[in-house]
Amino acid sequence: MISKDDVRKIVLSGIEGTSIFLVDVKVDASNRILVEVDKPEGIAIDECARISRTIQETLGEAEDFDLEVSSPGATCSFKVIEQYRKNCGRAVEVICKDGQKHNGVLQSVSDEGIMLEVTIKTKTAGQKRLHAEQQVMPLMFSDIKSTKVVINFS
């Protein structure tokens, strides 16, 4: 059986020196290999094809396998910090481990967490309308369960 670590090493070696980053590698019991890669400006299909050829050439014909190399789906949760960096300035939905859900604009990313600009709506006594205020909320990666881009079709 082909190991996930072997595929990971092949991909990392093949993308070294480029802006491409590895998002995920999955290998199931039937040797179906799924590799997700991306880069800050978005990955092109010819780059995925090149990575696929590198994996095929390296693994050779030692075992039968199915291989798919692609970018992560637009609605998939982030898996690596590079995805956060790539999506700075975009609207995201963050679900925390405590169940809280925050929608806002991803402002910045550090090694420890993110800064999320959220709209806080408040209503003071005697007012009929809600008052909206922008606030920047720090969130630690250790507190985040999932984050994904919010796709707006308006």
Residues 35 and 90 in one domain: no
Calpha distance 16→18 (Å, rounded): 6
Q: What is the mean pLDDT of the chain?
A: 93
On the 0-12 / 13-18 / 19+ scale of CB atoms within 10 A, 116 is buried
> Is pLDDT at 18 greater than 90 in this prediction?
yes
> Is pLDDT at 73 greater than 80 in this prediction?
yes
Residues 90 and 138 in one domain: yes
Residues 62 and 95 in one domain: no
Residue 76 within any structural domain of the chain: no
Residues 58 and 21 in one domain: yes
Per-residue pLDDT reduced to its tens digit, 78-113 = 999 999 999 999 999 999 999 999 999 999 999 999
Query: The whole model's pTM is what?
Result: 0.88
Per-residue pLDDT reduced to its tens digit, 119-134 = 988 877 777 777 788 9
Residues 37 and 87 in one domain: no
Range of the domain at 103: 81-149
CATH number at 56 reads: 3.30.300.70
